[in-house]
């Protein structure tokens, strides 16, 4: 059943939710990568060879810093939206909880467990998931492209 406000909305909820889900599905893997990369990447060191005093390789430092920060910034951005921005602006206070349990946990919970914890029936839960994903998409930065898809 379609809500009256959805009929006149310019946002394509299905495509917008799919875009947000495409981003959030990456979260657990990128979080693990960000945690595992801390202080592990470095330029190779030659042992047993005569060498001059050590000189820093600024090009390598820049590349390593970029690789380490990319996943960390992605995770920080997702966490900020879900933990800070959504609770302040969400119509439903269960949206951040659903997104945390479904996507942000390192081991995401199955839908039936989340439904039971938030006290929703199946159709109500899936509507809340779609609404939460759309709200997440609205907060996601527009660079390089917006997650929100217009119908027109």
Q: Which of 34, 33, 2, 24 is nearest to 147 (CA)?
A: 24
Q: Which of 139, 146, 130 is nearest to 88 (CA)?
A: 139
Query: Which residues, in sequence order, are CB contacts of 152 under 8 Å at separation 6+?
Result: 10
pLDDT of residue 10: 85
Is pTM beyond 0.85? Reply is no
pLDDT of residue 19: 94
Q: CA 38, 40, 44: angle at the middle one, nearest 5?
A: 150
Write out the two tokens for 73: 């910034």
Q: From CA 22, how far away is CA 34, in angstroms rounded?
A: 19
Per-residue pLDDT of the chain (152 residues; tens, 9 = 90+): 444 445 557 889 999 999 999 999 999 998 988 887 665 555 566 666 666 666 677 777 777 666 667 888 999 999 999 999 999 988 899 999 999 999 998 788 999 999 999 999 999 999 999 999 999 999 999 877 888 888 87
């Amino acid at each position: 059943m379609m809500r009256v406000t959805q009929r006149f909305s310019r946002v394509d909820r299905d495509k917008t939710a799919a875009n947000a889900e495409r981003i959030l599905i990456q979260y657990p893997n990128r979080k693990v990568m960000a945690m595992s990369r801390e202080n592990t990447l470095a330029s190779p060191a030659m042992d047993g060879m005569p060498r001059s005093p050590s000189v820093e390789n600024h090009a390598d430092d820049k590349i390593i810093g970029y690789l380490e920060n990319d996943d960390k910034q992605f995770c920080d951005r997702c966490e900020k939206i879900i933990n800070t921005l959504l609770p302040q602006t969400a119509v439903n206070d269960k949206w951040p909880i659903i997104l945390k349990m479904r996507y942000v946990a390192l081991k995401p919970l199955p839908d039936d467990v989340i439904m039971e914890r938030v006290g929703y029936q199946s159709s109500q839960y899936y509507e809340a998931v779609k609404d939460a994903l759309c709200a997440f998409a609205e907060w996601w930065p527009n660079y390089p492209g917006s997650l929100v898809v217009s119908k027109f």
